[in-house]
Amino acid sequence: MGIVLENNKSTKEVTVGEAFIKVRAVSLSEYLSKTEKRKKVKVMRPKKTSNRFHILKKYFISQLEGLPYDREFRLNNSINGIEAIYCSELVYKLLTWTGNTTPDLSIMLFDVNRDYWEKYFRGNVPDGEYGISPSDFDDENLYEFVGYL
């Protein structure tokens, strides 16, 4: 999951903020290169945007870029005293900071593909903690569907 930081209409270049390995800005083509073959990327947009949405990239660069990736998928988690962020947490924090409506935090359950999560977390799955997942953003009351890439 990522968020468009810039869409330069004159050069047709799109910059996406992502939390993958670390928090960073990448080109749309680099972002899409990580998508599984024959899978599509769903594009959603907030139905209402705040007047601070235009400074999203500036906030991303000054506050979040370079932070480590949170492989544990925990809110407000840190690695060596530095905040670590996972993909949907990044989008949540950016939208919250810019005053855009966000989904409510929910209790995380790793029950879909449970065998995978048991292996990933080595038997210590963080069920029951509050967090935010990509599926939480699939709310037609808050976001409008734009299309697939």
Q: What sign does the CA torsion over 44, 40, 88, 128 have?
A: positive
Look at 53 and 85; give whichever has higher pLDDT. 85
* pLDDT of 53 higher than 80: no
| Cα 73 versus chain centre, distance | 11
pLDDT of residue 48: 83
Identify which of 71, 116, 110, 112 has the alpha carbon closest to the alpha carbon of residue 89.
Answer: 71
Write the CB contacts of 142 (distance below 8 Å, at least 6 apart in sequence). 46, 47, 101, 102, 103
Instruction: Kindly report the pTM of this predicted structure.
Output: 0.91
Angle at 119 between CA 114 and CA 121, to 5 degrees: 95
pLDDT of residue 117: 94
pLDDT of residue 139: 85
The per-residue pLDDT for range 86-111, each reduced to its tens digit, is 999 999 999 999 888 899 999 998 99
* pLDDT of 54 higher than 80: no
The per-residue pLDDT for range 7-48, each reduced to its tens digit, is 888 888 999 999 999 999 999 999 999 998 889 999 999 988
pLDDT of residue 91: 96
